Structure 1
Amino acid sequence: MKNPSTGRRLVQYALHYKRTIFIALAMLTFAVAAELTGPFIAKRMIDHHMMGVEKPWVEVLEEDEQSVTYKGKNYKKNTDITSDRIVGEDQIQVVQVGRSFYVTNEHLTFDGKRSVNNQILTISKGNETANYPVNKLTREELLAFYQPEIKPIIFLLSIYVGLLLVAAFFQYGKSLLLQKAANRIIQKMRTDVFEHIQRVPLSYFDNRPAGKIVSRVTNDTEAIRELYVKVLASFFTSGIYMTGILIALFFLDVKLALITLLVVPILFIWTVLYRKVASNYNHLIRTRVSDINGVVNESIQGMTIIRAFRRKKQTIAEFEVLNKEHFTYQNKLLSLNALTSHNLVNVLRNATFVALIWYFGGQSLTATGIISIGVLYAFVDYLNRLFQPVTDIVNQLAQLEQARVASERVFELLDEKGEVVDTEILPRFQGNVAFENVSFSYDGENDVLKHISFEARKGETVALVGHTGSGKSSIINLLFRYYDINRGKITIDSMDTSQIPRQQLRKHMGIVLQDPFLFTGTIESNVSLGNDEIPIERVRKALRDVGAERFIKQLPNQFEEPVLEKGSTLSAGERQLISFARALAYDPAILILDEATANIDTETEAMIQQALNVVKEGRTTFIIAHRLSTIRNADQILVLDHGEIVERGSHEELLEQKGKYYKMHQLQLGKEVSNVG
């Protein structure tokens, strides 16, 4: 079944918190509506109250707050006439010429270029000319005409300020909710990725450096977080802003709005072209970041080797190659962004203003013109507001593309086939293990195990010996189902392990590795691994049984002594003892010791051997060992060579055969043996 597209999967993650997102978008819509009301309020203040003084004034009988007394008579703007009784049909009109204002008793039939000479107002427009007798207004008379407009202007300004406060409140709520939703989304995504890492087969990690996987969990998800917090928030905000502004422009002037609407397809086309060019750079950048993480992780893990063999310069040189490539691709992407972001917006803005000037060219911009000053102001205001979200969108294209590439890498990991988590409870194994003609290959071509057959009965100890690469660890990997066999069959208590859920299979098995791994925490937490089913008493008993109490009592916090990453403050032997205690605390039916005593001194080894003689009772134990002295008492010893069992039997039986086991034993005793191999 084909996986959904990256965009659809990002939306699916967002829908987990759709309620929060929808509330945020609703708040954003209210905030945009409140902010975009401002130019309409300004338009009314300019056209109706500031420039409105040039509208015709009608003589009225009654005097009120909207009327003006001029030459002993009361006048009111014709737009303010309601139920007042009109005294006569004569009107006056206020006209501004330069910085002076005049009054004429005649109605202006058209408007154009104005001039006054000898109390005669001349208006010219093309071939038309009109003359009107006028009287110049004194400063007091002019203020009287503006007096009725003061309260409405203050009222409109109060509404404007109130709307700005409302918009600020909703903007704050929108930002808070969107970022909260984004953080929740990334929290869930990181959890999903980390949980999935626990389910993918171990073969996934064979050819992938840990640093690269860590990069996907941290760096890539952080890039996706920026997508939700900044990119999508900007796109949502800008989209609603642009929609609201375009609607407002259509209310002001349809033709101008249609010209402005051309910005949308241009922006869409540019986004598509940008993504095609930037996608390659972003893939390379994310890959180099992943490679750098891998090198840093490897260098930290191998710091002792680097310093011991004086490989510092070579390691720095290898790192610098990747760092320089990352720098080069970043610079190329920055150059692309520099050529497109602000430059594109400036071109679009200037082109739009050119269209605006062209549209207004040759037309009067006064109160009686085709387009009023208020409409022009509102239109310019909206255009300036329109290009801010356009700038936001263009500037976020780089982050959008980075997040898209990072999303592909994260979803690629999530698409890796994982092991099914099965909660079925199986009873504890008896411990009867059988390999029946098992063959296995890691790469599907070269078998590392060939026709392996043996049986380990309950309570027996089976030792696996052989040279490096003979297949000892591969047998254990198959027993744990870290890998599935290619041919043959493995059974536990006559149950085919391929039919047993991996979680239930491993629940009754314990392992101690040659290089024990300790987690950050305490000694106790490293034994129980946070399993609530294992009480503290059992943890401490396991530590005592393996002889770890001897060094624990010398620690300041004893059983609760902090353990740093990988147990760096403890010796190899002490870490191994804790690892033994961990396996015993889980009370496994099948216990595997993979070179478990290789890093332990002779005295500690003797102590563990004594403890193991007690804890092995009732358990089937597999021991991988190079030191043959540790497996003298094994019930069955399997000698492997190139993936095949070449000898089997007890310690004494194998010595009597004088085969490979005998030669290995003699070699370890320090005797010269000819023709070893």
Structure 2
Amino acid sequence: MAQSTERKLFQYAFTFKRNIMIGLICLIAAVALELTGPFIAKYLIDKHIVGIENTWHQVSGENKWTASYEGDFYVRDDRLNSSGDSLSEASILQVGRSYYFFDESVPLTGSRTIDEGVVTIETPDETVKAEAERLAVHELYQFFKPEQPSIYWLLAFYVLILLIAACFQFIHTFILQKTSNRIIRKMRDDLFAHLQRLPISYFVNQPAGKIVARITNDTEAIRELYVKVLATFVTSIFYMAGIFAALFLLDFKLALICLTVVPIIWVWMRVYKYYGGKYNTVVRSTVSDMNGNINEAIQGMSIIQAFRQENQVSNDFEQLNNRHFAFERKLVKLSALTSFNLVNVLRNIAFVAFLWYFGSGAVGAEGIVTAGVLYAFVDYLNRLFQPVTDLVNQLPQLEQARVAAGRVFELMNEKGNNVSDSPMKRYRGYIEFADVSFAYNKEEYVLNDISFKVKPGETAAFVGHTGSGKSSIMNVLFRFYDHQKGTITVDHQPIKEWSRQQIRSHMGIVLQDPFIFSGTILSNVTMNDKDISREMAIDSLKAVGADQFIEKLPQKFDTPVGENGDTLSMGERQLISFARALAFDPAILILDEATANIDTETEQLIQQALEVIKKGRTTLVIAHRLSTIKQADQIFVLERGTIVERGNHESLIKQDGKYHQMYKMQRGAVKEHAV
């Protein structure tokens, strides 16, 4: 059963679970410390600022909790235990914007009015009238003075908490971002390693640019998921959980009302996932197509310019670019029409509920809440919508990363070949094909009942017109593809019993169009294999005659070469390719029309090199120029996937068949006659 994209992303993250757990613990600590702020503010307001609106007791002595008023000492009701016995009771209440002192104990709750020095207090149970004296600012300050040390200590404690929270936040951010980059590095390594295990047929059917886009662009989008989106979601979820816990501690009913934000966000995420996923799928696919188009245009720029097809190529690219633009615009509309508005609407509704709840609750005296609770609730509501905003704003990146991950895992789900790098003893090179049939596409066979034997040290050549099956024989022997019928053996061992790496470990191949990698001439021979020394590589280059042009280069064997060796001629690239095959000392050497695209002078060099290369190894040659295979031990003539003639050069000439006809045509013996 195929695993979901989200599950696979989680599995990659779980590889570094220790670091992630440390980061999450630091995050929880940072969130918890940050969310203590409103509670500290609530305590400070209710206990030390608004707390003077209380019952006060006259005491005989002075201490740190006493306040001086008109020559007497007073202490708050909640400080009485540490300040001695009460001589008499008094009260301080706020009426309007002023504070008033009462010489007696009066109710602390209820609605209040004042008329000519008499304060009327109405409660559900009674109405109390009492004379009061308005406190001047300096008098009021005396009642605040005992609370100042506690206020300073609380503020200092809050600053300390914020500093500690900042440290935890830094550690959390650093660890999660570092871990995210490590996850993506592992994913790219796994992806590239898997890419090298895929069969050649996959690369035939997929443009190079589209594969490159999955390894670079798509993994970069996933990196944003781990580095930014995931961190934002985790932070926001923990932050919201902490805020809701605090809200429930402050007021259960209002917290339940605020909790309706959660299902709204969940529904919105589902809606965005549906539409955003569809749009992002098209966007990511179009980006791959654009990469493929650009790669093809760059590779074929000389042909495009030679045939004046710049406008046509530009039009093709413009169509892809317009499709990309159209769906990106849909994504922008989807975000613009909802994300910003959604958060604003939710925030406004929450504050309306807040005002309605506390406003209607304040009608009765018993419903009045403290100023500290009001402040804390407003603070937490403001804090609540910041993570909501962060969550909604990250939805586009989340969907982009999810779609990109789906494309990456789709590539990783492609069935790859088993890899076995276990050492294998060099085989002698006895090759036998027994009734081998092969098709690239199901039943469309390009090889039909092919049978032949090549003894160790022999040279066998394969000739025939285009499409006759010459290269297909090499493809199945090299196991670029696996044959469907018959048996192929090397030293009497079926090649399917070996891994592809084992069978190729003692094979070398030189293609018609040799590939040169970015690097130096020497690195293209050694392929950075530690078993191939510099001296071995230089000897191989000299053996094939490549030193004749290399000695003229400024840095000789260490001369840098660009992608595909564009600074070298076709013949020079072919000589380097020959040296590469020679340096690895294969038991079986395959030459796939290696001399088809080179000049006569270079061909003579290669013919001389071939005599050196062939010694001690089995050589299979796909030949275009029949003059290059006259010395072959066996020559097989193919037509439509079957061997129609076989023998050496002299015997095939005597047969006066297809080989003889091809040979005469190349020598110019057959002349065209007008009908």
* Bin for the TM-score computed over the shorter chain: over 0.9
| Deviation at residue 283 of structure 1 after TM alignment | 0.9
2:126 and 2:542 mapped to 1: Cα distance?
A: 113
Deviation at 1:403, TM superposition (A): 1.2
* SS of the residue 1:583 aligns to: helix
CA shift digits 1:520-558 (9 cap, x unpaired): 111111111111111111111101000111111112221
Aligned positions of 1:109-124 closer than 5 A: 109=107, 111-123=109-121
* 1:465–1:472 Cα contact (<8 Å) kept: yes
Match of 1:63 in 2: 62
Deviation at 1:398, TM superposition (A): 1.5
Pair 1:441–1:563, CA change in 2 (3 A) = same
Which residue of 366, 388, 391 corresponds with 2:389?
391
- TM-score between the two structures when normalised by the length of structure 2: 0.97
TM-score normalized with structure 1 length: 0.97
The root-mean-square deviation of aligned C-alpha atoms, in Å, is 1.9
The one of 583, 608, 611 equivalent to 2:609 is 611
Deviation of 1:383 after TM superposition, in Å, equals 1.0
CA contact (8 A) 1:56 1:93 kept: yes
Structure-to-structure mapping, 1:131-530, within 5 angstroms? 131-364=129-362, 370-530=368-528
Aligned to 1:430, the other structure's residue is in SS state coil
Q: How far does the alpha carbon of each residue in 1:166-222 deviate from its partner, in whole angstroms, 9 at most, with x for none?
A: 111111111110001100000000000000000011111121101111111111111
Distance in 1 separating the partners of 2:287 and 2:662: 48
Which is worse superposed, 276-285 or 112-121? Answer: 112-121
Match of 1:542 in 2: 540
**Aligned mates of 1:675, 1:352 — CA distance in 2:** 95
SS at match of 2:196: helix
Deviation digits for residues 104-134 of structure 1 (CA, Å, limit 9, x no counterpart): 1233426455433321123457997543211
1:367, 1:373 within 8 Å by CA — same for their partners in 2? no
| Percentage identity across paired residues of the two chains | 56
Counterpart Cα distance in 1 of 2:143 and 2:55 = 12
Alpha-carbon distance in structure 1 between the residues aligned to 2:86 and 2:496: 105
CA distance in 1, matches of 2:657, 2:60: 132
Distance 1:97 1:436 in 2: 109
Counterpart for residue 20 of structure 1: 19
CA drift at 1:369:
5.7
Distance in 2 of aligned mates of 1:249 and 1:509: 73
| Letter of the 2:254 counterpart | L
**1:74 shift after superposition:** 0.7
SS in 2 for 1:442: strand
* CA-CA distance at 1:87 after TM superposition: 3.3
Cα distance, 1:250–1:165 mapped onto 2, change above 3 Å: same
In the alignment of these two chains, the number of paired residues is 674
CA distance, structure 2, for counterparts of residue 474 and residue 548 of structure 1: 30
Measure, in 2, the Cα distance between the counterparts of 1:99 and 1:127.
Answer: 25
CA offset at residue 254 of structure 1? 1.4
Aligned residue number for residue 85 of structure 2: 86
Q: Report the counterpart of residue 582 of structure 2 in structure 1.
A: 584
3-state SS of 2:448 partner: strand
Task: Flag structure 1 segments of 5+ consecutive residues without an equivalent.
Answer: none
In structure 2, what is the Cα distance between the partners aligned to 1:456 and 1:435? 9
Q: Identify which range, 572-581 or 259-268, moves more after superposition.
A: 259-268
8 Å contact 2:93–2:108 — kept in the other structure? no
Equivalent pair of 1:54/1:367 in contact (CA under 8 Å): no
Deviation at 1:370, TM superposition (A): 3.3
How far apart are the structure 2 equivalents of 1:203 and 1:378? Answer: 65
Give, as a single letter, the amino acid of the residue that structure 2 aligns with 1:571. Answer: S
For residue 618 of structure 1, give the secondary structure of its aligned residue in structure 2. coil
Match of 1:9 in 2: 8
The answer to whether the Cα contact below 8 Å between 1:20 and 1:181 also exists between their aligned partners in 2 is yes
Q: Distance in 1 between matches of 2:673 and 2:509?
A: 35
Do the aligned partners of 1:111 and 1:369 also contact (CA within 8 Å) in 2? Answer: no
> How big is the shift at 1:589?
0.4
Unpaired segments ≥5 residues, structure 2? none
Query: SS at 2:57's partner residue?
Result: strand
Give the secondary structure class of the aligned counterpart of 1:362.
helix
Paired with 2:149 and 2:421, the residues of 1 have a C-alpha distance of 75
Cα distance in 2 for residues equivalent to 1:630 and 1:108: 120
Q: Which amino acid aligns with 1:510?
A: G
Does the 8 Å contact 2:67/2:75 carry over to 1?
yes
Give secondary structure in 2 for the equivalent of 1:608: helix
Q: 2:557 aligns with which of 529, 535, 559?
A: 559
| SS of residue paired to 1:453 | strand
CA distance in structure 2 between the partners assigned to 1:235 and 1:106 by the alignment: 56
Counterpart CA distance in 2 for 1:219 and 1:675 is 59
Q: What is the letter of the counterpart of residue 370 of structure 1?
A: I
1:643, distance to aligned residue in structure 2 (A): 1.1
Look up the equivalent residue of 1:3 and give its one-letter code: A
Deviation of the 1:604 alpha carbon: 1.5
Task: Output one character per residue of 1:281-305: Cα deviation in whole Å (capped at 9) or x when no partner.
Answer: 1111111111111101111111111
Amino acid at match of 1:19: R
Distance 2:294 2:589 in 1: 36
Counterpart CA distance in 2 for 1:21 and 1:87 is 59
CA distance in 1, matches of 2:294, 2:127: 84
Amino acid at match of 1:602: T
Q: Indicate conservation of the 8 Å contact 2:80/2:86, yes or no.
A: no
State whether residues 58 and 76 of structure 1, in contact with CA within 8 Å, keep that contact through their aligned partners in structure 2.
yes
